[in-house]
Chains A and B, each alone.
Chain A
Amino acid sequence: MEKLKLLIIQPQKIFLETEFDDIIIPGKDGDFGVFYGHTPFISVIRPGILEIYNNSEVTKCAIHDGYVTVENNIVTILCEVVEKADEIDKTRAEAAKERAEKRIKSNQDEVDFRRAEIALRKAIARIAIS
């Protein structure tokens, strides 16, 4: 199978540059996969887990935001926060999860609620892969 190229770019650095067979990306409207020959495509990313399959290896990253473009079998992800499993502080993530849950339960106005929901998603993604 032919390989695709992946570039994950952060404002501070290039996070990852690699080749892969298949990738699962948490899009705003749901997770989607990209194989070789995908049509040109832009999507916004929601907080979740990014899974990169290469040969039989899987790399998982927690991603918080950003957008992805697919063009000529090059997948480019631009995001501000993305972490590999060994970079995550699990206790901090768990504390953040509790905080977010409390905020959701206290049922404040809509803006706060949405923010808490995003924070909760981020925390869950972090905990899931760490």
Chain B
Amino acid sequence: MGNIRDIKSRIGSIRNTRQITNAMKMVAAAKLRKAQQGIIKARPYADNINHMLATIKFKSRETDLKIFVQPEPTAKCALVVVTADRGLCGSFNSFVIKAALQYLKDHPNTDLFCIGKKGTDIFKKKDVKIIKSYTGLFNEMNFSVSLDIASDLKHHFFSNEYDHIEVIYNEFKSVIQQNIVQKQVLPIPDIKVLEGVSLLDYLYEPGEEEVIEELTNKYINVEIWRILLESSAAEQGTRMTAMDSATDNASDLIESLTLQYNMVRQAAITNEIIEIASGAEAQNQ
């Protein structure tokens, strides 16, 4: 049993920690709500573009365009890993990094792009070469942050540096469930045409190729944006659950320490009474 003062100061410091984890939980919950709304709001735009691309691909004569040709398994690949800028979010970063390392091992002909400070730090520590890293995006989430990444990737892809671009990220399922997802962004994967959708013959202006180019541009931008939103929502979700259990743990710890504190205090008082009583007894004799 420890010293009574030690226990008291421990209770105090745990109480402070609990306050912090609780506050972080609240903040994560608020940010999560924002990211979730972002995902819902991006849906009509993304769905429309996917639908248009599917339609055009179905109708198009330009099926040999680079964006439609599926890559060989050994083709040169750019892998984009989406991590968080901050820690304290459970297994969020470590799982996605593990998946990325596995991919790099299986596909040696791959270059790494990293989004998020945590991933950048860890890959550097592990001596994995990063072509480019993007950090500090998640503080201020707006659409323009995805444009820089998208334009870099487009540039690399269309200058034939890479044959395909894969992204590994955390997909948001629910607050307690996140899935690691690997997704091919370019070339455009086979898109399913929604049932009941008309496949009309359109007039193209200026020309089919220009329309496809513009659509592809928009498609990549919104795809990256969606991935960032998903990852951000997943990050806040894991942080929320991690901080929730941290707060619970702190409460449990405080409870058991308080019990211990009371026992030590009681013991001290009993000791004192025994001393006084035995002192008085001695004087009486």
Q: Which residues of A contact B (CB under 8 A)?
A: 9-14, 27-29, 32, 39-44, 66-67, 69, 71-72, 76, 78, 80
Interface size class of B (residues with CB under 8 A): 20 to 34
Q: How far is the CA of A32 from the CA of B222 in the complex (A)?
A: 27
Q: How far is the CA of A44 from the CA of B46 in the complex (A)?
A: 17
Q: How far is the CA of A127 from the CA of B84 in the complex (A)?
A: 40
Q: Can you report 8 residue pairs joining A to B where beta carbons are below 8 Å apart?
A: A9-B48, A10-B143, A11-B225, A27-B205, A43-B205, A66-B214, A76-B48, A78-B218
Q: Do A14 and B205 touch (CB < 8 A)?
A: no
- Which A residues are in CB contact (< 8 Å) with B44? 9, 14
Binary contact track B142-168/A, C-beta < 8 Å → 1, others 0: 110001000000000000000000000
Residue of A nearest to B204 (CB): A42
Q: Do B45 and A66 touch (CB < 8 A)?
A: no
**B83 interface residue, CB < 8 Å from A?**
no
- Which B residues are in CB contact (< 8 Å) with A28? 205-206, 210
- Which B residues are in CB contact (< 8 Å) with A41? 202-203, 205
- Which A residues are in CB contact (< 8 Å) with B225? 11
- Which A residues are in CB contact (< 8 Å) with B205? 27-29, 32, 41-44
- Which B residues are in CB contact (< 8 Å) with A44? 205-206, 210-211, 214
Q: Do B218 and A80 touch (CB < 8 A)?
A: yes
**B125 interface residue, CB < 8 Å from A?**
no
How far is the CB of A55 from the nearest CB of chain B, in Å?
27
Q: How far is the CA of A76 from the CA of B205 in the complex (A)?
A: 15
Residue of B nearest to A27 (CB): B205
Q: How far is the CA of A27 from the CA of B52 in the complex (A)?
A: 18
Residue of B nearest to A13 (CB): B41
Q: Do A12 and B202 touch (CB < 8 A)?
A: no
Assuming A11-B221, A12-B42, A13-B41, is B203 touching A40 (CB within 8 A)? yes
Q: Do A10 and B202 touch (CB < 8 A)?
A: no
- Which B residues are in CB contact (< 8 Å) with A27? 205-206
How far is the CB of B141 from the nearest CB of chain A, in Å?
10
- Which B residues are in CB contact (< 8 Å) with A76? 48
- Kindly identify which residue among A11, A29, A67, A72 contacts B42, using a CB–CB cutoff of 8 Å: A11
**B185 interface residue, CB < 8 Å from A?**
no
**B215 interface residue, CB < 8 Å from A?**
yes
Q: Do A39 and B203 touch (CB < 8 A)?
A: yes
Binary contact track B37-57/A, C-beta < 8 Å → 1, others 0: 010011011101100100000
Assuming A12-B42, A67-B211, is B201 touching A40 (CB within 8 A)? yes
- Kindly identify which residue among B41, B52, B200 contacts A12, using a CB–CB cutoff of 8 Å: B41
Residue of A nearest to B203 (CB): A41
**B284 interface residue, CB < 8 Å from A?**
no
19 extra A-B contacts, CB within 8 A, seeds A10-B45, A67-B211: A9-B45, A11-B46, A11-B143, A11-B225, A12-B41, A12-B42, A29-B206, A32-B205, A39-B203, A40-B201, A41-B202, A41-B203, A44-B214, A66-B218, A67-B52, A71-B200, A78-B45, A80-B143, A80-B221
Q: Do B45 and A42 touch (CB < 8 A)?
A: no
- Which A residues are in CB contact (< 8 Å) with B41? 12-14
- Which A residues are in CB contact (< 8 Å) with B222? 11
- Which B residues are in CB contact (< 8 Å) with A40? 200-203
**B198 interface residue, CB < 8 Å from A?**
yes
- Which B residues are in CB contact (< 8 Å) with A42? 52, 202-205, 211
Residue of B nearest to A30 (CB): B205
Q: Do B143 and A12 touch (CB < 8 A)?
A: yes
Q: How far is the CA of A67 from the CA of B142 in the complex (A)?
A: 21
- Kindly identify which residue among B45, B52, B147, B221 contacts A69, using a CB–CB cutoff of 8 Å: B52
Residue of A nearest to B144 (CB): A80
- Which B residues are in CB contact (< 8 Å) with A9? 44-45, 48
Residue of A nearest to B213 (CB): A44
How far is the CB of A79 from the nearest CB of chain B, in Å?
8
